[in-house]
Amino acid sequence: MYRLFRPLLFSLDPELSHDLTLGLLRCAYRVPGLGALNHSLHTHRTPSLPVEVMGLQLRNPVGLAAGLDKNAGCVAPLADLGFGFLELGTVTPRAQSGNPKKRMYRIETDEALINRMGFNNVGLESFLVNLSRAPRVCPLGINIGKNRDTPAERALDDYLLGLRSVYPVADYIAVNVSSPNTPGLRALQEQETLAALLATLKSEQDVLARTHGRYVPIALKIAPDLADADIGAIARLLLAHRIDAVIATNTTIARPGLENDVTARQSGGLSGKPLRALATHVIRQLYRELAGRIPIIGVGGIGSAEDAWEKILAGADLLQIYTALIYRGPAAVREIVAGVASAMRSLGATSFAEARTIHAESTRKRVT
Ligand SMILES: Cc1cc2nc3c(=O)[nH]c(=O)nc-3n(C[C@H](O)[C@H](O)[C@H](O)COP(=O)(O)O)c2cc1C
């Protein structure tokens, strides 16, 4: 069905077609029966592949990556596409309009997007109102960030406010220090700054867990544009500060394989196919250091079950997609879950950790 709509959507400006699609989905859910139809078209047809990560029970390991529903305005329609979980946001303390338009570009030949949205969002207060109106259909991560005009030395205050505000309603909280479109944000990944940020968030999480009688995991979302030594250092900080998960990766400022593409000269973060190998490399480096002690949420260029399997073998325990949803439509979710389930069956594995062990063992045997 998406194949019919795609030419129309792709004839429009990317951001307009994004807004239009979410708007139409929201309207459709006001018509009795259409939500149930969407649910039965997608969720019902997505195989069950239950996993438990960060203490959360998920019906399958494929989630929606942050940035598509920044305002928690389309929760039920998106969950009904068959996702195992959704990550909403990035939400900042105060509403902000983001960078000037035009700020999103398609590179169709490579199934890629470049965006420099700049955290356009309605702010925490309206986000929470929207979320309070949404039915809880699957686990929800909430991705928090800082406002553009908050000076670097006050960044921590924005994250603390975000953490405290979303804690009661989130199933996990993603701390975004990796968007390339907010000046200075990615400097928060530097060792000393990151150590201070993680220590503060962790101790606040302890306080909040006691206050609310409920432990909500924290995941750190990192960039793909890090040197191996920095990835190792971040992994060690995550362990030292007992952070619950890491999301790898955000969009890249590099342009791998797109050196001759005119659109690729646009500034912003690149997502989709060209990001795939870079993101997988970061996951592999993280896994080397973490060795399963902290789960990895793998994201970046996943468009097929093979791409998903590559991320799982590299060390991912959960997966997220964004750009593939734009290029391939909701069927991508079902196809990825079905393909991963079938790869698990043919390996005789009951968990991703076991799949990695069996795969490593068979690779070792082939080599010796
Ligand atoms: C238009 C657009 C907006 C995004 N906004 C956010 C955001 O607000 N916060 C965030 O953490 N990631 C954001 N991302 C990054 C995605 O969550 C994801 O990490 C990245 O796109 C790589 O996955 P993909 O190749 O499957 O798209 C955005 C991506 C796109 C394409």
Give me the pLDDT at residue 189, please.
Answer: 86
The one catalytic residue among 178, 179, 304, 362: 179
pLDDT score of 366 more than 90: no
Give me the pLDDT at residue 3, please.
Answer: 87
Higher pLDDT, 35 or 209: 209
Q: Please state the atom number of ligand 1 nearest to the C-alpha of residue 251.
A: 20
pLDDT score of 139 more than 90: yes
Cβ partners under 8 Å of residue 254, min gap 6: 224, 225, 270, 278
Give me the pLDDT at residue 200, please.
Answer: 98
Q: Please state the atom number of ligand 1 nearest to the C-alpha of residue 299.
A: 23
Cβ(274) to ligand 1 under 6 A?
Answer: no
Secondary structure class of 72 (helix, strand, coil): coil
Distance 90 CA to ligand 1 centre (A): 9
Band of the pLDDT at 367, cuts 50, 70, 90? confident
Distance 65 CA to ligand 1 centre (A): 6
Sheet architecture: strand order including 104-107: 104-107, 112-115, 269-272
pLDDT score of 209 more than 90: yes
| CA-closest residue to ligand 1 atom 1 | 115
Distances in whole angstroms, Cα of residue 144 to Cα of each of 66, 198, 209, 213:
10, 14, 18, 22
Cβ(115) to ligand 1 under 6 A?
Answer: yes
Distance 276 CA to ligand 1 centre (A): 13
pLDDT score of 322 more than 90: yes
Distance 251 CA to ligand 1 centre (A): 6
pLDDT score of 302 more than 90: yes
Give me the pLDDT at residue 307, please.
Answer: 98
pTM recorded for the entire structure: 0.98
Cβ(64) to ligand 1 under 6 A?
Answer: no
Q: Please state the atom number of ligand 1 nearest to the C-alpha of residue 250.
A: 19
- pLDDT digits over 219-272, tens only? 999 999 999 999 999 999 999 999 999 999 999 999 999 999 999 999 999 999
Band of the pLDDT at 365, cuts 50, 70, 90? confident
Burial (CB count <10 Å: 0-12, 13-18, 19+), residue 143: buried
Give me the pLDDT at residue 135, please.
Answer: 92
Evaluate whether 174 touches 217 at the Cβ level (below 8 Å): no
**And the tokens for 216?**
């909500």
* 179 counts as catalytic: yes
pLDDT score of 348 more than 90: yes
What is the overall mean pLDDT for the chain? 96
Q: Which element (helix H / strand E) includes 104?
A: strand 104-107
| CA-closest residue to ligand 1 atom 2 | 67
pLDDT score of 148 more than 90: yes
Helices and strands counted in the chain (H then E): 13, 13
